[in-house]
Amino acid sequence: MVVIDNIIVHESVAETKFACDLKVCKGACCTFPGGRGAPLLDEEVFEIEKAFPFIETLLPPEHLSAIENHGLVDGFAGNYATQCVDGKACVFVYYENDIAYCAFEKAFVEKKIQFRKPISCHLFPIRVDRDGNGIHFEYFSECDPALENGKQQNISVHRFAKEPLERTFGKKWTEKLTHHIDKDCSH
């Protein structure tokens, strides 16, 4: 464990090799069974509402039906999450060749919206602790292909998640993290 600017970084962030392999996992992180979707920050609810008209046409009919019946998000202030379809896929998922993709990400890349995706999704498989004072790698068996791919390519999870770490904690913080991990691994 290391502390960088008051953020506790669990050793799993430094030690875990990880690189998504969508061809194998099929976007499983967006379709986990379990009933509740991705955690949302309160301010992300507004961004989702604002972006929805730009992604609506990408979504499958059963996802649109779930949104119509249950709304865009689940929960209440301080405890929001994305809605799910039948306790599995996030309602904001669309499919290409049996692979689940984020509709927000697609619209963002196409410069139709400024909201990339919920930060919990962007950071995945790194999780911010509930109190906001730490981060850790969260293991899911569905991500075993990413663990294997990360080992083969020698990519640590903190490097895989560099962009969302910068989005969350800033570029300087992320550089400090990388420097610390690289220094420790060179011994």
Instruction: For residue range 17-75, list pLDDT tens digits in order.
Output: 999 999 999 999 999 887 688 999 999 999 999 999 999 999 999 999 999 999 999 99
Alpha-carbon distance of 167 to 16, in angstroms, equals 21
For the question of whether the overall pTM of this predicted structure is more than 0.85, the answer is yes
CA distance readout (Å), 151 to 39, 170, 183: 28, 27, 19
Domain boundaries, given as residue ranges, for the chain = 1-18+125-187, 29-115
Q: Convert the pLDDT of each residue in 96-154 to its tens digit.
A: 999 999 999 999 999 999 999 999 999 999 999 878 889 999 999 999 999 999 999 99
- Residue 187 clears pLDDT 60, i.e. is over it: no
Residue 11 in contact with residue 1, Cβ under 8 Å? yes
Find all residues with CB under 8 Å of 59, minimum gap 6, and list them. 67, 91, 92, 93, 94, 103
Is residue 87 pLDDT above 80, yes or no? yes
Mean pLDDT of 1-11: 91
pLDDT given at position 68: 96
pLDDT score recorded for residue 185: 61
Task: Flag whether pLDDT at 186 surpasses 80.
Answer: no
Phi and psi torsions of 94, nearest 5°:
-125, 165
Across the range 2-9, mean pLDDT stands at 91
Q: Mind listing the pLDDT tens digit for each residue in 171-184?
A: 999 999 999 888 76
